[in-house]
């Protein structure tokens, strides 16, 4: 009997429980299982990814589901992975919060014969493959070019990331900042980056604090889907959106209002629903004993580059978060 129920991770004092696992029907003999552990459950980005996971699971017949921790916390991801190891899944998908913290438990998964597929984790140790829908350099540069344009290529800006341990957010920030220093010398980054962009509340507080401390602030660049939303609320409330350029990636349905009124000047994303589909497509391949090959087609993106040495599956598929494109993305359910 095919399993399609959603499994979400709930943490309570004294232990970890996977909601929906108790009393599930017996699995069909030989049915491959895959659990995808994301950074945090319940936010629009990963809700859309879950839709893609379910869609491709239905298409392939694979028993795949998403596990969404209640907080963006590496310890919760570790506990979720431990549960999946105990369950004996064929493949574990991971969107890492902290690559170093996850390396030991992913090593145990591999030792148990489980394939590990990462996304947003090209430098993750103890994974079999990683897939990306843009390059680090292209994503960082695209956002910096847009921020520079909106700031008139001069002035003070700050940078948000999901947390200081999220590998890809920080790699994007590194690429964007290095590019700014090279291409836009009249712009200056204030202080260090802030690890707040996976939380609307934390992004609100940091934006409030930075506007008080730096009334001449001209730009906010954020990597992490909740950063633009929290910052936009503050800019709108203080009526300074025309003076502070806010740029970053977010879930279209969550930020469409702010794009249309100009509070968020724009940004770029890949489709998280497509990422969910690819998790299952590649996971099903790995569970069947097959290896990715250069030029193979992935759902939603077409032919991809495969680097067998880096164990990297590389696509390039960005969507602009601007007034011309935002309604189309919302209509797709993003």
* Cα–Cα distance, 321 to 196 (Å, whole number): 21
Residues 178 and 89 in one domain: no
- The pLDDT tens digits of the residues spanning 232-261 come to 999 999 999 999 999 999 999 999 999 999
Mean per-residue pLDDT pooled into runs of 10, the chain (334 residues): 35 33 39 95 93 97 96 94 98 96 98 98 96 96 98 98 94 98 98 96 98 98 97 98 98 97 97 97 98 97 97 96 96 89
Residue 307: count of CB within 10 angstroms of its CB: 14
224 assigned to some structural domain:
yes
Residue linked to tokens 């629009």: 44
Task: Render the burial of 42-62: b for 16+ CB within 10 Å, e for the rest.
Answer: ebbbbbbbbbbbbbbbeebeb
323 assigned to some structural domain:
no
- What pLDDT does 230 receive? 98
333 assigned to some structural domain:
no
Check if the beta carbon of residue 271 is closer than 8 Å to that of residue 240: no
pTM for this model (two decimals): 0.83
193 assigned to some structural domain:
yes
* Among candidate residues 245, 269, 293, the one where a domain is terminated: 269
Measuring CA to CA, which residue among 270, 312, 315 is closest to residue 292? 312
Q: What 3-state DSSP class applies to 17? A: strand
Residues 239 and 283 in one domain: no
328 assigned to some structural domain:
no
In terms of Cβ atoms closer than 10 Å to its own Cβ (0-12, 13-18, 19+), residue 166 is buried
Q: How many independent structural domains does the chain possess?
A: 2
What are 203's two structure tokens?
């992004």
260 assigned to some structural domain:
yes
* CATH code, 62: 3.40.50.2300
* Structural domain containing residue 47: 8-134+271-317
Residues 145 and 108 in one domain: no
* Cα–Cα distance, 234 to 218 (Å, whole number): 14
């Amino acid at each position: 009997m095919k399993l399609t129920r959603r499994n979400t991770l709930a943490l309570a004092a004294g232990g970890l429980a996977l909601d929906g696992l108790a009393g599930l029907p017996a699995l069909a003999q030989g049915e491959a299982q895959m659990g995808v552990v994301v950074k945090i459950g319940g936010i629009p980005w990963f809700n859309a990814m879950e839709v893609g996971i379910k869609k491709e699971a239905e298409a392939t017949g694979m028993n795949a589901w998403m596990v969404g921790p209640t907080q963006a916390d590496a310890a919760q991801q570790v506990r979720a992975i431990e549960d999946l190891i105990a369950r004996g899944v064929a493949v574990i998908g991971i969107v890492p919060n902290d690559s170093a913290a996850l390396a030991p438990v992913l090593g145990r998964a591999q030792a148990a014969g489980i394939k590990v597929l990462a996304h947003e984790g090209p430098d993750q140790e103890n994974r079999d493959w990683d897939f990306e829908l843009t390059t680090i350099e292209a994503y960082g540069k695209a956002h910096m070019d847009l921020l520079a344009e909106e700031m008139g290529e001069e002035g003070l800006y700050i940078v948000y990331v999901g947390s200081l341990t999220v590998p890809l957010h920080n790699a994007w920030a590194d690429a964007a900042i290095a590019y700014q220093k090279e291409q836009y010398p009249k712009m200056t980054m204030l202080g260090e980056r802030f690890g707040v962009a996976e939380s609307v509340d934390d992004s609100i507080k940091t934006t409030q604090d930075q506007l008080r401390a730096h009334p001449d602030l001209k730009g906010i660049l954020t990597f992490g889907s909740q950063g633009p939303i929290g910052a936009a609320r503050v800019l709108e409330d203080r009526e300074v959106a025309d003076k502070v350029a806010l740029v970053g990636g977010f879930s279209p349905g969550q930020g469409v209002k702010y794009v249309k009124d100009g509070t968020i000047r724009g940004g770029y994303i890949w489709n998280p629903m497509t990422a969910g589909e690819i998790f299952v497509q590649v996971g099903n391949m790995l569970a069947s004993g097959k290896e990715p090959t250069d030029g193979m087609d992935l759902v939603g993106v077409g032919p991809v580059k495969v680097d067998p040495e880096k164990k990297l599956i590389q696509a390039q598929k960005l969507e602009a978060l601007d007034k011309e494109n935002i309604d189309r993305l919302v209509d797709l359910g993003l």
